[in-house]
Amino acid sequence: MWQRGGYQKAGDLESGTQPLYPMMSESPELRWAFIRKVYSIIAVQLALTAAVAAVVIAVPPISHFLVSSTAGLAVYFLLIFLPLIVLCPLYYYHQRHPVNLLLLGLFTVSFSFAVGMSCAFTDGKVILEAAILTAVVVVSLTLYTFWASRRGHDFNFLGPFLFAAILVLLVFSLIQILFPLGKISMMIYGGLAAIIFAGYIIYDTDNLIKRYSYDQYIWAAVALYIDIINLFLNLLTILRAANN
């Protein structure tokens, strides 16, 4: 690539000297610093989720208490809905330090308990398979999105379609609660949900590259973290149904 003063090697994109997408008006160095900050936060969130989930799995009395007693069920439902409750103040304070970090920690820990409960009654081999598949899919889609953005592709059009798909999933979940479906239906649900959250990974990564402002690092990390965890949980649903 010709640059003022001579030729520039096109090797390392993350060197911070090349634009991430055509007609990029901002500094590539600043955008790369922002991207690294977001992925560092996500890495800490995933490590915390793995640690909390491991404790729930390794200490059976925790999971048995949460599903076998009235008080435990109350705590369990609180832990399930707590991430949704925390999202509201987190969105409002996501630019205010250190409140945003405290709310992010509470959101991650409560979400991690839900992940741990999903894994507590699942075979370890199935959990490992779901984790490996999730890692492969996330890395592949992330690299693809960076590659496609560099060549001028834009994925902002996915937003309305993914939102509509999420609404369909919510209706399907309500049907599943009221009228439990069979193993095949659960595998179909898990497969569709996994595809939708794979789409969200592309969509939110594209936003990370092009649209999030530098002070929205917390919200950018939360969006991708939710995508990754939901992809894992739905892959776990598919593999668990197939294993049973």
Q: Rounded to an integer, what distance in angstroms lies between the CA atom of residue 195 and that of residue 104?
A: 26
Would you kindly state where each structural domain of the chain is located, as residue ranges? 27-243
pTM of the predicted model as reported, rounded to 2 decimal places: 0.88
Residue type at 41 in one-letter notation? I
Q: Rounded to an integer, what distance in angstroms lies between the CA atom of residue 58 and that of residue 32?
A: 38
- For 189-230, write each residue's pLDDT tens digit: 889 999 999 999 999 999 999 989 898 999 999 999 999 999
For residue 44, the model assigns a pLDDT of 96
- Map 182-198 to HEC letters: CHHHHHHHHHHHHHHHH
* Under 8 Å between Cβ of 193 and 172: no
7 three-state secondary structure: strand
Residue 9, pLDDT above cutoff 70: no
Residue that has been written with the tokens 């992940």 in this structure: 115
For residue 93, the model assigns a pLDDT of 85
* Best CA proximity match to 218, nearest among 104, 59, 47: 104
- Compute how many other C-beta atoms are within 10 angstroms of the C-beta atom of residue 217: 20
- Compute how many other C-beta atoms are within 10 angstroms of the C-beta atom of residue 160: 9
For residue 129, the model assigns a pLDDT of 93
